[in-house]
Structure 1
Amino acid sequence: MRGSTLLLSYTAIAQAWTIQKADLKLPSDAAAKRQDAIDLFTSTYADYKKYAWGHDSLTPLNKSFIDDRNGWGATIVDAMSTMKIMGLEGLFIEAVNFSSTIDFNRSKTPDKVSLFETTIRYLGGLISAYELGGKTDQALIDRAREVGNKLSNGWQGTNDFPYNNLDFSTDVPVIEESSRASVRLFNLAMVSSALTTKLPIYIAVAGTLILEWSKLADYTDNKTYLELAERSMRRIGTNDSPLPGLPAQGINPSNGQPVGDYITWGGGSDSYFEYLIKYGRLTNNASPEWTSRWLTAVDSSIRYLAQTAVNTSVPDLLYLGDYTGGRVRHISSHLACFHGGNWIMGGRLTGNDTIVQYGLRLTDACWNTYEKTGTGIGPEVFAYVGPDGGYTGGPAPSANDADFYRENGFYIYNGYAYYDLRPEVLESNFYAWRATGDIKYFNRAVAGLESIKKYCRPGVGVAGIWDVRSTNSGYIDHTESFFFAEVIKYIYLTFDEPNKFSLDNYVFNTEAHPFEAPSPLESYQPSHRAKMGGHLPSTPWTGAVPQISNAPGVQKGLSDVIKQGLGL
């Protein structure tokens, strides 16, 4: 196992850059496209208000609702930052008033509370709305403190890692029994014998808290939140890993040890890698370890996971495969497609154009999965053939899949052809536009918006579709709150004036909630430390947290609607 840092030899770093292109100019139709995005948001949110107000999610086909995020009104909280960015002040004030009175001390449903989902949607939404609203609505921070206090019960004693699922009525984590099917729900390509009857947590649970919890620590003057989140984040990086800087996806929270050797930039690991560079930026390298770990992860990914697709008529498609058992699995996913934007961001911050160019190629390959389908929208999971073959660890492609691959440069893996209103492809496209100003990225956002308007509007609200290859495959009766938080926001921001919500002034959490960032440094190479405005690194945590049962947590799976549709 090689531990050197290849990136230092890729590109001579002559300067460090801001993320955004300095002279970025919008095309003449940008204002009209912004209005199109606003119209889609307001019309679909009006349907939510009509049929599902106060509940978590609209079910547009039934003209009803489900409470899949504990009944606290996830869509309202998740949509607040988008409302403010779009200038929808009336809706924003209404949402703030609602959110200020939520009782987070108990779940409104029998469901357990996910540390991960509650952090990124509710905690992130509350804190971002507080900042965007001028830091005048103290009730939003009071509610965020309630959430943080309840979620802190996920840490048992002095364990480095929290359990993910909590019973808010007892403040005790919950034991989850697993099966091969439930493992597939989490990572559709992964079935690992290392995952035993008690599911581990995943690095995307323990590693996707630090932005939100550090902000909560700031606004409550309580460092415990920061110390808990940093402790988990740091332990991921100090554990042994199958490849340098690329930790295994699973963790046993009771002893902090890795479970298995599965590596992916997709679900289960994704936002851990995302938050390394984002926390480095948010803290202005107060502790350079986060940027350093991100650079090592990218270095190893270029060495071991990155491949250009072969045996296809579409040239220069770059993919990051998964890895297990010493082999690359030639699969990727919509969830993983955030990586292009993340590499563009980190490459710009560290002044490394090689990483930026890799990020642009990853972004282009993910967009290709949109461009080559009948709907102009990409699938959940896809596969490819690399120079070392097409091993996926799953079923071999059918003859039709092979034909489709030769013509289009990817094929849909194992039937996972649905689109559940995910944002990642449009997210990376937004970063590519802001970093380069290349008009193709603007035009792709236009195309994505038009495809959603054409194929994801069942008459009420907005809905995912079961097969992106077909223009009439049927709708998924569930509008995830992240459509309002992420999809429509990234489309709108691509059309918006670049200096209004600049990537040089804000860091977006994994749910696309913008957090205020300090003035940028001249460089984010690990040797450059914070001058002012960033957090000071926390000291190792030695205090007590609530004693709770030894109960492994489980990361999120698919919605019940998707499970039923897939027969799982």
Structure 2
Amino acid sequence: MLFVRKSYILPTAFLLSLIYLLFSSLPPAPEALDIDDREFSPPPKQNGGQIHWQKGREKHPIKSYIPLPTAAAPLPIPKIQHDFPSESWYRRRQRVNRQTAVKQAFEHAWKGYKKHAWLHDELSPLSGDNRETFAGWAATLVDSLDSLIIMGMTDEFEKALAALEQIDFTTTDATQINVFETTIRYLGGFMAANDLTDGKYPILLKKAVEVGEFLYSAFDTRNRMPQSRWQWTRTAEGLGIEPSRNTILAELGSLTLEFTRLSQLTNDSKYFDAIQRITDQMEAAQQKTKVPGLWPVMVNAEEMKFTDPRFTVGGMADSMYEYLPKEYMLLSAQVNQYKSMYDSAMDAIKDRLIFRGMTKDNQEVLFAGNAQAGMPSKEDLEHEAEHLKCFLGGMVGIGAKVFRRSAEELRIARGLTDGCIWAYDSMPTGIMPEIFHVSACDDMDDCKWDEKKWYRDVQRRLSKGTSAQNAQQEGKSLVKTHGLAPGMTDISDARYFLRPEAIESVFIMYRITGDKTLQDAAWRMFKNIEKITRTDYAHAAIYDVRDRHTPKLDYMESFWLAETLKYFYLIFSEPTLVSLDEYVL
């Protein structure tokens, strides 16, 4: 998780600005150097038979880096946060009590991780065992550093710092490295903690550079697009790599924040160069895809083809869109490219993906569905909602403020956020399912509850061929069989993975609007999650949100401590703690 203080983005020398003016128009394609221009490096070290990566000669080096944008002074970005008035004594007491409860949940899970899975990637919260899911470099420890700082757990933070020297980022038992996951959990974790502590602890930047240097080798391909599931031992042994013809969109397009911030902290443009080449390719393709403005779920990164017919803002695509306004802010509004790409994407999202769900109380709840290329109209949209899409409310809210877009988009942001709150409140456990389908309104502005339509929609979604004449009767039976809340037509994945996306948007919309009903919604969400996921060791994912006695699953991803509980903590904090006007999250 990356936290970047905006005020850190300071001017550099006039010479660097001049270089930017001279070279910013360079084409994104890399220029190869003669092999003699690079210093030869020895083969990788061997330690007990284990391969160790070390910085070596690139096969496809860059002749001139795209320079990191700098300016004499950061350009103004519109204010995001609400002007919060002073709170009453009662409201403050209530807020602090809630915040304390969140911190206690974090302390419980952190204690379990520290006791049973220290320096491993994840704690198994039922068995007390551990898991190595992200190369075995202590993902939960690194990813949670910023949460420890924010919650004032100084002693625990310093114990975690002391353990960092034991992590060796030159080797792993994993045969492939997920570049995206390694970037957000490790690189982001180190730099977030570094920025939150004003660079007080040099080991944080040192480790960030170690990870950055390691990951940079994944970009050493003919077109400089990264091999997203990097066969790192090939690189270590001096062999070539190429990007995949089946690359997940989010894994290709969601490296911008961390790599840009690393360039800002090190004054080394190569990291920014690496991701800016991806951005340039994405911009060039954006209006040429089968749904102009959007990118498909899968990309042929070897040939930079975008022919996949599937389009969504959910899993496998989400952060490609989320990072556009955030990168714009991180670069102090100096690169209009990210605004232009966001504008195009947002217009397409509104036109092709967003729909209103029909609810019994006629609440204005919005969701983003999935589109297929060739669909003639929005009526053919798949009305599938998922927890991963819940980031969208926060993104649209921030985009509306930062890019001064219409007031309508703040309303859309709130509707998307309320859609996720509604999904939580609709389940017996008070927890939203991973994936479900919704009965969509025919009219976004005028939508009244129609029980017969709901039953028909359920029958169409779940029927195995029964005659439409019996649609209502069969729909009513299917609702009972599948445990569907009014308005839902299917729950295709009833699990909950301790995900942060819903509370992230609730937190962001609270900071934007100051609406305290969002704090109350967050409290309901937290109480239900904490109660049903708690184990003796920590907290666990659950199997079925429709069942108050659901079995638990023996895993707890690092984002539970690094994001979910952090956002719950922040929504009950003073608004000045990690202000959206001071940090890019």
Q: What TM-score bracket applies, with the shorter chain setting the length?
A: 0.7 to 0.9
Paired residues for 1:259-338 under 5 Å: 259-310=307-358, 314-325=362-373, 326=375, 327-338=380-391
Query: Taking structure 1 as reference, are residues 25 and 475 closer, same or farther at Cα in structure 2, changes over 3 Å only?
Result: farther
**Match for residue 385 of structure 1 among 439, 459, 471:** 439
Aligned partners of 1:165 and 1:174 also within 8 Å: no
Aligned partners of 1:264 and 1:323 also within 8 Å: yes
How far apart in 2 are the matches of 1:396 and 1:127?
A: 50
Aligned residue number for residue 84 of structure 2: 23
Paired residues for 1:131-280 under 5 Å: 131-171=195-235, 200-239=246-285, 240-280=288-328
Aligned partners of 1:334 and 1:379 also within 8 Å: yes
Paired residues for 1:39-188 under 5 Å: 39-107=104-172, 109-171=173-235
TM-score (norm 2): 0.76
Shift of 1:17: 4.5
How far apart in 2 are the matches of 1:88 and 1:173?
A: 45
In structure 2, what residue type is equivalent to 1:243? V
Shift of 1:100: 4.2
Aligned partners of 1:344 and 1:359 also within 8 Å: yes
Aligned residue number for residue 428 of structure 2: 374
Report the aligned-residue RMSD: 2.5
Shift of 1:94: 1.4
What's the secondary structure of 1:268's corresponding residue? coil
Select between 327-336 and 426-435 the one with higher mean Cα deviation: 327-336
In structure 2, what residue type is equivalent to 1:106? T
What's the secondary structure of 1:408's corresponding residue? coil
What's the secondary structure of 1:383's corresponding residue? strand
How far apart in 1 are the matches of 2:174 and 2:363?
A: 51
Deviation by residue 1:317-357 (Cα, 9 ceiling, x = unmatched): 21111101324111121001100011111111123321111
Select between 135-144 and 279-288 the one with higher mean Cα deviation: 135-144
How far apart in 1 are the matches of 2:224 and 2:315?
A: 22
Aligned partners of 1:79 and 1:481 also within 8 Å: yes
How far apart in 2 are the matches of 1:24 and 1:483?
A: 31
What's the secondary structure of 1:433's corresponding residue? helix
Deviation by residue 1:26-83 (Cα, 9 ceiling, x = unmatched): 5221111111111111111101111111101011111110111111101100110000
Deviation by residue 1:212-249 (Cα, 9 ceiling, x = unmatched): 00111122221111011111122112112222321112
Shift of 1:374: 1.0
What's the secondary structure of 2:496's corresponding residue? coil
Deviation by residue 1:1-28 (Cα, 9 ceiling, x = unmatched): xxxxxxxxxxxxxx98411101255522
How far apart in 2 are the matches of 1:65 and 1:392?
A: 43
How far apart in 1 are the matches of 2:427 and 2:484?
A: 14
How far apart in 1 are the matches of 2:150 and 2:114?
A: 20
How far apart in 1 are the matches of 2:145 and 2:85?
A: 27
Aligned residue number for residue 488 of structure 2: 410
What's the secondary structure of 1:470's corresponding residue? coil
In structure 1, what residue type is equivalent to 2:347? D
In structure 2, what residue type is equivalent to 1:40? A
Query: Taking structure 1 as reference, are residues 396 and 304 closer, same or farther at Cα in structure 2, changes over 3 Å only?
Result: farther
Query: Taking structure 1 as reference, are residues 400 and 121 closer, same or farther at Cα in structure 2, changes over 3 Å only?
Result: farther
In structure 1, what residue type is equivalent to 2:194? Y
Query: Taking structure 1 as reference, are residues 401 and 423 closer, same or farther at Cα in structure 2, changes over 3 Å only?
Result: farther
Query: Taking structure 1 as reference, are residues 17 and 142 closer, same or farther at Cα in structure 2, changes over 3 Å only?
Result: closer
Q: Is 1:481 matched up with 2:565?
A: no
The structure having more radius of gyration, on CA atoms, is 2
In structure 2, what residue type is equivalent to 1:18? K
Query: Taking structure 1 as reference, are residues 349 and 393 closer, same or farther at Cα in structure 2, changes over 3 Å only?
Result: farther
How far apart in 1 are the matches of 2:175 and 2:523?
A: 38
Query: Taking structure 1 as reference, are residues 437 and 311 closer, same or farther at Cα in structure 2, changes over 3 Å only?
Result: closer
Q: Is 1:424 matched up with 2:501?
A: yes
How far apart in 2 are the matches of 1:258 and 1:161?
A: 14
Query: Taking structure 1 as reference, are residues 367 and 418 closer, same or farther at Cα in structure 2, changes over 3 Å only?
Result: same
In structure 1, what residue type is equivalent to 2:355? Q
Aligned partners of 2:221 and 2:240 also within 8 Å: no
Q: Is 1:506 matched up with 2:583?
A: yes
How far apart in 2 are the matches of 1:40 and 1:361?
A: 29
How far apart in 1 are the matches of 2:245 and 2:86?
A: 49
Aligned partners of 2:462 and 2:490 also within 8 Å: no
How far apart in 2 are the matches of 1:505 and 1:142?
A: 24
Aligned residue number for residue 518 of structure 2: 441
**Structure 2 gaps, min length 5:** 1-75, 443-455, 465-474
Query: Taking structure 1 as reference, are residues 174 and 469 closer, same or farther at Cα in structure 2, changes over 3 Å only?
Result: farther
Deviation by residue 1:267-305 (Cα, 9 ceiling, x = unmatched): 111001000010011112211110121122111111121
In structure 1, what residue type is equivalent to 2:429? T
How far apart in 2 are the matches of 1:296 and 1:308?
A: 21
Q: Is 1:360 matched up with 2:414?
A: yes
Aligned residue number for residue 467 of structure 1: 544
Deviation by residue 1:498-556 (Cα, 9 ceiling, x = unmatched): 01210110011xxxxxxxxxxxxxxxxxxxxxxxxxxxxxxxxxxxxxxxxxxxxxxxx
What's the secondary structure of 1:69's corresponding residue? coil
Query: Taking structure 1 as reference, are residues 244 and 259 closer, same or farther at Cα in structure 2, changes over 3 Å only?
Result: closer
Q: Is 1:342 matched up with 2:395?
A: yes
How far apart in 2 are the matches of 1:25 and 1:449?
A: 25
**Match for residue 452 of structure 1 among 526, 529, 539:** 529
What's the secondary structure of 2:312's corresponding residue? coil
What's the secondary structure of 1:464's corresponding residue? coil
Pick 1 or 2: higher relative contact order, CA cutoff 8 A, min separation 6.
1
Query: Taking structure 1 as reference, are residues 82 and 222 closer, same or farther at Cα in structure 2, changes over 3 Å only?
Result: same
How far apart in 1 are the matches of 2:357 and 2:204?
A: 48
**Structure 1 gaps, min length 5:** 1-14, 177-197, 509-568
What's the secondary structure of 1:307's corresponding residue? strand
